[in-house]
Structure 1
Amino acid sequence: MPDVQPFGVQFGQAIDYLKGKLPESTLKWDDLAGPVHGKVFAVAGAASTDLVADIQQSLVDALKNGTTITQFRKDFDAAVQKHGWSYRGKRGWRTSVIFDTNMRTAHMAGRWQQLQAGKAKRPFLQYRTAGDARVRPQHRMWNGLIFPIDDAFWQTHYPPNGWGCRCTVRAYSQADLDDNQLQVSKPYQVKTRNVVTRDGEVTDQVPLGIDPGWDHNVGQSWLSPEVALGNKLARLPMELRGPMTDKAISPAYQKVLNDDFKAFKTAIEKPTGATQTVGFMDSGMINAIEDKLPDLKLESTLVTAADNKTLHLAGTHKAKSLQVWPDEWIDSLPEHFRNYRAVLLDTKSGNLVVIPEGSFNARTPKIVIRLNYASKNGTTAAVVSLGTAPLGDLAKASQYEIILGSLKK
C-alpha cells in the first residue's frame, strides 16, 4: 500500500496544488496565517510578486520534470539576479528550506485529495514517521495512531507538522485493520501551547509538537480553504481571532474568497441548506462588538450566507427596487464585507449593519448580519439581507448606533 510518492516522481495532484496558488509578496514567514498557504504562494522576504511567481514556477517545473534541488538552485539564482533580491541566510540553507517545504506540502496536499477520493474503501489513516533518530519526540509518540479520515485529529495533525517534518500517513480499510490486528486509537486529547514573541505578546496557540503556522491540514487548506481557516480560528481564544484574521485575509486570499463565493452563487439551482463563507470578523469588528454588547457571548467570528438566502439576496423578486445589488456586487460580497467604512448596531434587532466602501447608485449599500445564527451547519454570523438606504436615513435613524468607522463621505 503506497505512501506519499518520493520527490522526483510526477504527481498530478501535487502539481495542481502548487501551480494553483496565487503569488503574494511578504516580509516574514509568519505574515500569513498557516491555512492561507494552501492557496497563496509566498517566500519570506520576497517583496516582489514577480519574483515570487518566478520561484513558484521553478518549483512547479521541478515537480513536472522530476528535477532535483540542484536544478532548482540554478533557477533560484537566475530569479534572484533578475529581480535583484538580497535575501537573508546562506544560499544552501535558504534554497533547501524553500524546496523541501514546498515539495513536501505539495505531495501531502495531493495525497489528501487522493485519500478523500478513496475514503469509502479506506476510511482510516495511520500516522507514520520516518522511523529514524531525526524524528521529533512528539511526532514519534503519534507514530501508529489510527483515526477515521474525517476525525478532528487530522485537521491539525495531518503532516507535515513543522519545518523539515518527514511524517506521512497510510490509509486502511476495515479489512486491513482486521488483517493486521490494528484498532482505531482512543480519542486524542490535544494539548496546546501559546506562541509568544520576544516582547512577550501571545500571537497564536498551537498543539504541542507542531510548529507555529503548521497546525492545519495542507490538503484541506487547498481544497476547502475557508473551512481550514475557519477551523483554525475556532480553535483560538477570542482575543487571538481578530489579529489572526487581520493577517489571514491578504489581497490574494481575498480573491480566493471572492472566487469561491461567486462559484457557490452561480452553482445554486435548488437550495439545499448549504452555506458559503463570506468572510471573518477582523479585530476592529470583534472589539467593537465586545465593547458595545458586553452581555453577548460571541460564539463565532465566521460570516456565512446560505444558498436560499443568497438567491434571495439577488433580488429577482424586486428587480426594479433601488435596494437591489447588481450581480457584480453580490459576486464580490466577501470583498465588500472586508472593505467596510462603518459598522452599525441595529439596537432594535441586535443585527450588525456593515456599510461597504463605494456605491453603485445614489444610495448607501448595506450588509445586514445576524450574530450567533444557528443552523444545521453550526453557529455563525449570517448575512440576512443586502440593500441600500439614503445616507441621511442611516445617520439620523435612532435605531442605528455607529460602533466602528464613520458614515461621513
Structure 2
Amino acid sequence: MTWDPFEQAPHDAINWFRDRVPVTVSEWSTLSQDARRRAFFISGTSQLDLIGDVHKSLLKALDEGKSFAEWKKEMRPRLEAAWKASGQGPTTTAQINNRMGTIFQNNIQSAYQAGRFRQMTDPDVLKERPIWVYVSVMDDRTSDRCRKLNGTTLPHDDPFWVKNHPPRHPRCRSSIRSIPAGDAQLKAAPAGVQAEPGWGTMPKPGEWATEMSKGVGQGAAAAQWTPAWNGNAPTAVKGYGLPAQLPARPLPKPQATPASRQMMSDPLDTVLLYNPEIAPLPAGVSSEVLQETLENPAEIWLMPMQSNKGTVVYRQRHISSYQDGDETLLVIVESHRGVVIGVQVLPAEKSEEVRQGFVRHQKKNK
C-alpha cells in the first residue's frame, strides 16, 4: 500500500487552529489583514468568554472528528442565547442552523486546508509531488468562483496559489491535491476569477506556533516587528476607559534565588516558558518579581505584531506596577508564542506606551 500523507490524523490542522486567538468583532475590525488570519471571532456576540469556548469546542471537534450535528447539539443553547440577548443574531430555527453551519464549516475547512498546506509544502513531499491541482466539489451547491477553477493544474510555486488557496469564500468546500510532475498536464486558471474579499490567502509558515525557547527567541530577534493594526492600537485610556495609572503594590523582596529556566502559569492558564538565556532580568528585577508579574499580573495585554517577513504573532504583555521606595515602576514581561522574550522596567508615567492592544485580564483589587 502506498503511504498517503493526507490520510493521517489532522495534527497540522489542529495545531493551526489551536493558534487562532479569540477576539471580539470590534477588536477584529482593528486588525491588519494578515493579523485577522490569526484571529477567531463570531459575529453577533461580544462575549469574549463565549467566543473562547466556541473556539475550544471547534478545536475539540477537530481533535475528535466530531460531526456538525454533534457540535451543534453541544453549542446551540449558548450561541442561541447570546444571539437573542444581543439582538443582532439569527432568530428562526433555519437562520440559527445556517449561521452555525457557516461557523462550523468555515473554521473546520480552513483548518483542514491549512493542515494540508503544511503537509504539501514539506520538502520531501514537494520533491515527489510538486504540482498542485484545484479540486472543487461539483454539485448544485458549487459556487461559480470554484466551478470555473476545478481542474486548474499548476506548479506549487505559481503565483496563482498565493491568492487562490481554499477556502476562497464562505462555506467553500474546495481543496488542493498534489501530484507528481510526471502525472501533470498543466491547465491554467481562467482569467478574471477571483476569491471573495478576505478569502483565498495562502497560509504562511509563521501561522503554526510549534517552536520553543531558543528557537522562538532567535526567530523573534531575527526579524523586525511592527504593531499589526488597521489604524491606532486601543489603549488603556482611549480604548478601554481604564485608569491612567495602575495601582502599585510593594516590590517583592528578593530571596537571592537565581533566575533559572522554568515554566509558569498565569491567571488565563497560559503556560509560559522562561529561559534566562533568552530574556535576562534587568537591574532591579528579581526572580520573585518575575514570578509575581507572570502569575499575578495587574493586567495582561495582547498585541498583534507583524514581522518584515509577513509573519503575524499575538504577543502577550504581563504588566504590574510596584512601589520601590519613593519610586513607582512598571514591570513588563513580554512573551512570544508561549516563550518569555523580554523583561522591561519603565517609570510609571510610561504606562500608556505599553498598555496597548487587547485587554485579556485585570486584577481585581480587594
Match of 1:24 in 2: 23
Summarize deviations over 1:330-378 as a string: whole Å, max 9, x none. Answer: xxxxx99999xxxxxxxxxxxxxxxxxxxxxx9xxxxxxxxxxxxxxxx
Structure 1 CA distance, aligned partners of 2:162 and 2:102?
24
Structure 2 CA distance, aligned partners of 1:212 and 1:43?
18
C-alpha displacement of 1:129: 0.9
Give the aligned length: 258
Contact 1:43/1:52 (8 A) holds in 2: yes
> 162, 174, 177: which one pairs with 2:169?
162
Contact 2:145/2:194 (8 A) holds in 1: yes
C-alpha change, 1:165 and 1:336, in structure 2 (3 Å) is closer
C-alpha change, 1:336 and 1:28, in structure 2 (3 Å) is closer
C-alpha change, 1:265 and 1:130, in structure 2 (3 Å) is closer
1:50 partner letter: D
Match of 1:114 in 2: 119
Summarize deviations over 1:269-306 as a string: whole Å, max 9, x none. Answer: xxxx9644434586579xxxxxxxxxxxxxxxxxxxxx
Q: Which has the higher helix share?
A: 1
Structure 2 CA distance, aligned partners of 1:147 and 1:216?
17
1:98 aligns with 2:99: no
Structure 1 CA distance, aligned partners of 2:177 and 2:55?
29
2:35 partner letter: V
Structure 1 CA distance, aligned partners of 2:156 and 2:217?
30
> 192, 217, 220: which one pairs with 1:266?
217
Contact 1:115/1:171 (8 A) holds in 2: yes
C-alpha change, 1:100 and 1:265, in structure 2 (3 Å) is closer
C-alpha change, 1:277 and 1:147, in structure 2 (3 Å) is farther
1:224 aligns with 2:229: no
What is the identity percentage for the equivalent residue pairs of Structure 1 and Structure 2? 22
Structure 2 CA distance, aligned partners of 1:22 and 1:338?
10
2:201 partner letter: H
Match of 1:183 in 2: 186
Structure 2 CA distance, aligned partners of 1:77 and 1:109?
26
Contact 2:136/2:142 (8 A) holds in 1: yes
Q: Name which structure has the greater RCO, CA cutoff 8 Å, separation 6+.
A: 2
Match of 1:48 in 2: 47
1:69 aligns with 2:54: no
> 169, 174, 181: which one pairs with 1:174?
181
1:267 partner letter: Q
1:14 partner letter: A
- Is the deviation greater in 160-169 or in 25-34? 25-34
Query: 3-state SS of the aligned residue for 2:25?
Result: coil
1:278 partner letter: T
Match of 1:132 in 2: 139
1:213 aligns with 2:198: yes
> 222, 226, 233: which one pairs with 1:278?
226
Contact 1:17/1:109 (8 A) holds in 2: yes
Structure 2 CA distance, aligned partners of 1:277 and 1:165?
33
Contact 1:28/1:45 (8 A) holds in 2: no
